[in-house]
Amino acid sequence: MRVSADLLRTRVAGLDFQNPIVLAAGTAAYGRELAEVVDLTRLGGLVTKAVSPQPRAGAPAPRVAEFDGGMINAIGLANPGVDAVISEHLPWLATALPATRKLANIVGFAVHEFAEVVARLEAALGASAAGAIDGFELNVSCPNVKAGGMEFGADPAALAEVVRRTRAATQRPLFVKLSPTLPDIAGSARIAVEAGADALTLVNTLPGLVIDVGSRRSALGFGTGGVSGTALLPVGVLATWKVRRAVQVPLMGIGGVASAADALQYLVAGASLVGMGTAMLRDPRAPERVVAGLARWCAQQGVARLGDVVGTLRMPA
């Protein structure tokens, strides 16, 4: 099958993606670690693991466990910190994947920390690591430690302030990633956009608890964790549809995608990009198969550009 180069191509927040499939934050490390098992050059993009101001050791083992509907994890946002990311990972990202868009996932535990990390990455990108990072994705599902532990995304004032300050620190595209537990995800989306977000990512993991009944202990060392994989698919698709109706900016839909049919649900609901995490951890070839499946589906359906299906959902009146 001959596929037009433009069939799957999409432009989001000023960035060209060769196809809409993006590896989700935290599941692709900083790219290089995965490059031997996944052909990253064939994907639309990747989002790095979280980057925080200081190194974080993260949660005790076991950090992940599987259940029938997917996976639960409590990694604790373990990462080497922004300085080590700059010295150890940006040089590789700057040259290895010219056609694949790279977003850095940013995490903070106080309002000022997000902008601080972005400013430090920007300084490196302006110096030796030009081209390593095309944009940023803010993980606002983490606790605001200085304000009693409420997550940033659930506090309108904190959410607006995090986005505003980060917006001032970069001119690159800014994605804001929201949690499926937000009581009014459309309202949070509007706040993020008004504060300067160029795009939104929906959704992060859903809180959960998996119990090993034999030992009567949690399956995770931390206790509770975040649910990802199949169980999250309808949750993420609903969030995408709700947010699509509330804001104009492009969306990245994430949660439970394992096949081209799953990815199409997000596209029809209104996402321009589709993230994959858990399915890729189970089978590193899954994202490439989804890309090929999307091209096949377009050919079968006589769709000239995959972008034409974005937001075409017909809901009951």
278 binds ligand FMN (CB under 6 A): yes
DSSP 247: -
DSSP 164: H
Q: State the nearest-atom distance from the C-beta of 202 to ligand FMN, in Å.
A: 9
Question: Scanning the structure block, which residue is given the tokens 């394992």?
Answer: 258
Distance separating alpha carbons of residues 229 and 206, to the nearest angstrom: 10
73 binds ligand FMN (CB under 6 A): yes
Q: Compute CA distances 107 → 42, 64, 146, 153, 217, whole Å.
A: 27, 20, 14, 12, 29
Of 40, 51, 71, 142, the active-site residue reads 142
277 binds ligand FMN (CB under 6 A): yes
118 binds ligand FMN (CB under 6 A): no
Distance separating alpha carbons of residues 101 and 46, to the nearest angstrom: 6
37: CB partners within 8 A, 6+ apart: 284
49 binds ligand FMN (CB under 6 A): yes
Nearest CA among 166, 215, 222, 169 for reference residue 192: 166
Q: State the nearest-atom distance from the C-beta of 6 to ligand FMN, in Å.
A: 26
Q: What is the 3-state secondary structure (H, E, C) of 27-51?
A: CCCCCHHHCCCCCHHHCCEEEEEEE
26 binds ligand FMN (CB under 6 A): yes
Q: State the nearest-atom distance from the C-beta of 49 to ligand FMN, in Å.
A: 5
Distance separating alpha carbons of residues 278 and 230, to the nearest angstrom: 9
205 binds ligand FMN (CB under 6 A): yes
264 binds ligand FMN (CB under 6 A): no
E strand or H helix at 177? strand 174-178
With CB under 6 A as the contact rule, which of the stretches 92-100, 123-131, 181-189, 255-263 interacts with ligand FMN?
255-263
27 binds ligand FMN (CB under 6 A): yes
204 binds ligand FMN (CB under 6 A): yes
Half-sphere exposure (Cβ direction) of 316: Cα atoms closer than 13 Å: 0
With CB under 6 A as the contact rule, which of the stretches 38-46, 54-62, 72-80, 89-97 interacts with ligand FMN?
72-80
177 binds ligand FMN (CB under 6 A): yes
Given a contact cutoff of 8 angstroms between Cβ atoms, the answer to whether 75 and 52 are in contact is no
Nearest CA among 20, 27, 10 for reference residue 45: 20
50 binds ligand FMN (CB under 6 A): yes
45 binds ligand FMN (CB under 6 A): no
Given a contact cutoff of 8 angstroms between Cβ atoms, the answer to whether 188 and 25 are in contact is no
- Judged by CB under 6 A, the residue of 8, 12, 25, 290 near ligand FMN is 25
With CB under 6 A as the contact rule, which of the stretches 208-216, 242-250, 276-284, 296-304 interacts with ligand FMN?
276-284
Q: Residue 205 corresponds to which tokens in the numbers above?
A: 């993991």
Q: How many residues bind ligand FMN (CB under 6 A)?
A: 27
- Judged by CB under 6 A, the residue of 276, 286, 290, 298 near ligand FMN is 276
- Judged by CB under 6 A, the residue of 232, 263, 294, 306 near ligand FMN is 232
**Is 142 noted as a catalytic residue in this protein?**
yes
Look up residue 158 and give its amino acid: A
Active site positions, annotated: 142
What does the binding site for ligand FMN look like in residue numbers (CB under 6 A)?
A: 24-27, 49-50, 64, 71, 73, 75, 77, 105, 139, 177, 204-205, 228-229, 232, 254-257, 276-279
